[in-house]
């Protein structure tokens, strides 16, 4: 009885796309007592969910007809257009978790609105094992009309934390990709570091622990960088100024050469700081170099 009552007060979730991510989402909504309608291009993937109480639609259009909140978790933006080709989106709230670029989300929002739907774009900062595990720290950025986000926030929060990224449809994808970009840089640095010490005495595992501690301690530098960016004063709170940083970076290049490691992953940032120094910003922090990355600024 309790279960039925709970179901009746929770809105139906229509979920299109049952890859690893979509399947994990469906399971969590079902476990939390939400009525769920699923559809997947390869129908066999839906069967295990039917056993857990999901309604399985034969076509995407049939699924979309089953409820107002339509969550898509497909291969890419083109798959979304293909899947929804024959569906009637009028009165629907389309929440797209398909991975794409900010520009794709901006365009998709216009497309959805033309078809009578309200559109939220999502950017997932999680991998499937984090879904439904609140302590795992996974969350999803959402962007689009604030009122659509507010209306569905509690439903969307069942599988993963939610965070509003902005009203621009592309904001969720943008912040998602900005975090991934920062990680990309970190992984480049870590890969270079492991290459430098390969074959040395310290056990690799021990060095890995030192790397994690060091990067964790240094990651909090983002706070000061944000202050510098917001104020436009890149010399604010500087500990090691650009002249010192550039001098220190030479040791990184020389050490790579000594150890027989290609410096290609780190060279562009060293060069960017040197360019900024050559422009006369010796007393600034390295943060100011971002001015050189932004085209036309």
Which 31-50 residues touch a copy of itself, going by CB under 8 A?
A: none
Task: State which residue, 112 or 193, has the beta carbon closest to a copy of itself.
Answer: 193
Q: How far is the CB of 224 from a copy of itself (least distance, A)?
A: 9
- Choice from 23, 72, 98, 99 touching a copy of itself (CB under 8 A): 99
> Which residues are bridge partners to 143 per DSSP?
121, 166
Interface residues for a copy of itself in 230-289 (CB under 8 A)?
230, 239-240, 248-249, 251-252, 254-256, 258-262, 264-270, 272, 286-287, 289
Task: State which residue, 9 or 216, has the beta carbon closest to a copy of itself.
Answer: 216
- Choice from 78, 153, 214, 237 touching a copy of itself (CB under 8 A): 214
Q: What is the DSSP string of 147-191?
A: HHHHHHHHHHTTTSEEEEEESSTTHHHHHHHHHHHHHHHHHHHHH
Q: Mask of contacts with a copy of itself, 165-194, x by CB under 8 A?
A: xxxx--x-xxx-xxxxxxxxxxxxxxxxxx
Phi-psi region of 295 (alpha: psi -120 to 50; beta: other; left: phi over 0): beta
| CB half-sphere exposure, 156, CA atoms < 13 A | 30
Which range touches a copy of itself (CB under 8 A), out of 4-12, 56-64, 80-88, 211-219? 211-219
- Choice from 125, 131, 158, 238 touching a copy of itself (CB under 8 A): 125
- Under the binding rule (CB under 8 A), the answer on residue 211 touching a copy of itself is yes
Nearest to 207 by CA among 223, 225, 194: 194
Which range touches a copy of itself (CB under 8 A), out of 6-14, 28-36, 86-94, 195-203? 195-203
| DSSP SS3 for 39 | strand
Q: What is the DSSP string of 92-153?
A: -EEEE-S---HHHHHHHHHHHHHTT-EEEEEEEE--GGGTT-GGG--EEEEES-HHHHHHHH
Q: What is the DSSP letter of 269?
A: H
Task: State which residue, 63 or 246, has the beta carbon closest to a copy of itself.
Answer: 246
The tokens for 101 are: 């670029």
Interface residues for a copy of itself in 149-168 (CB under 8 A)?
163, 165-168
Nearest-Å Rg of the Cα atoms of the chain is 24
- Choice from 47, 88, 198, 237 touching a copy of itself (CB under 8 A): 198
């Amino acid at each position: 009885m309790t279960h039925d009552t709970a179901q009746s007060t929770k809105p139906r979730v229509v979920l299109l796309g049952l890859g690893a991510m979509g399947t994990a989402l469906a399971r969590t909504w079902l476990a939390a007592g939400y009525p769920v309608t699923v559809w997947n291009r390869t129908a066999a993937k839906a069967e295990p969910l039917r056993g857990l109480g999901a309604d399985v639609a034969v076509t995407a259009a049939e699924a979309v007809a089953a409820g107002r909140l339509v969550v898509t978790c497909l291969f890419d933006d083109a798959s979304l257009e293909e899947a929804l080709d024959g569906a009637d989106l009028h009165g629907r709230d389309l929440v797209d978790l398909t991975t794409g670029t900010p520009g794709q989300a901006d365009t998709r929002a216009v497309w959805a609105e033309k078809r009578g739907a309200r559109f939220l774009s999502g950017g997932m900062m999680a991998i499937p094992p984090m879904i439904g595990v609140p302590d795992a720290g996974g969350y999803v950025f959402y962007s689009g009309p604030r009122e659509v986000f507010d209306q569905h926030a509690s439903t969307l929060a069942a599988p993963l934390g939610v965070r509003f990224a902005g009203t621009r449809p592309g904001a969720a994808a943008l912040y998602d990709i900005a975090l991934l970009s920062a990680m990309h840089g970190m992984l480049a640095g870590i890969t270079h570091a492991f290459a430098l010490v390969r074959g040395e005495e310290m056990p690799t595992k021990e060095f890995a622990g030192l790397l994690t501690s060091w990067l964790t301690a240094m990651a909090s530098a983002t706070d000061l960088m944000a202050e510098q960016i917001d104020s436009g004063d890149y010399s604010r709170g500087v500990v090691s100024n650009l002249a010192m940083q550039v001098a220190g970076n030479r040791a990184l290049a020389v050490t790579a050469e000594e150890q027989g490691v290609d410096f290609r992953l780190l060279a562009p940032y060293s060069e960017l700081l040197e360019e900024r120094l050559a422009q006369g910003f010796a007393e600034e922090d390295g943060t100011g170099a971002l001015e050189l990355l932004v085209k036309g600024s």
